[in-house]
Amino acid sequence: MSSPNTESDAISLADLSATHRDLLWVLSQTGPSESGPLHHVLTDYYTDGIDHTRVCDILEELIELDLVTVQTHDPIKYRLTESARRALSARQAWQAGTRNVEAGHE
């Protein structure tokens, strides 16, 4: 099993597909959730919809990347990891134009 990401090897959301990022965003807004409600939110968002199996596949990929964990209680719920929260925060800073401001680009 791989070790948790450190800040130096943390994944950038730029490396993920838009659907992966959207699913992370939905989880950040809903908190721990089952795959069904996540599927419904994405289906409402995407004009062509999205297959439930695809949502489950993306969740598995995000688990492998240490961005999502699964609570195996009944029902199974997915939640963000701290790595995902940091990645979402970094992306929001980038979108707002504030990323690297503190790095002292002079």
The answer to whether the CB of 52 falls within 8 A of the CB of 92 is no
Residue 12: pLDDT band (50, 70, 90) is: confident
Q: Count helices and strands (H / E) in the chain.
A: 4, 2
Query: Residue ranges per domain, the chain?
Result: 18-95
Average pLDDT of every residue of the chain: 85
Instruction: Tell the CATH topology of 18-95.
Output: Arc Repressor Mutant, subunit A (1.10.10)
Q: What confidence score (pLDDT) does residue 4 get?
A: 47
What are phi and psi for residue 9, nearest 5 degrees? -115, 15
Three-state SS at 17: coil
pLDDT single digits (tens) 40-91: 999 999 988 899 999 999 999 999 999 999 998 888 999 999 999 999 998 8
- What gap in Å lies between CA 73 and CA 70, rounded to an integer? 9
Rg of the chain on CA atoms, in Å: 15
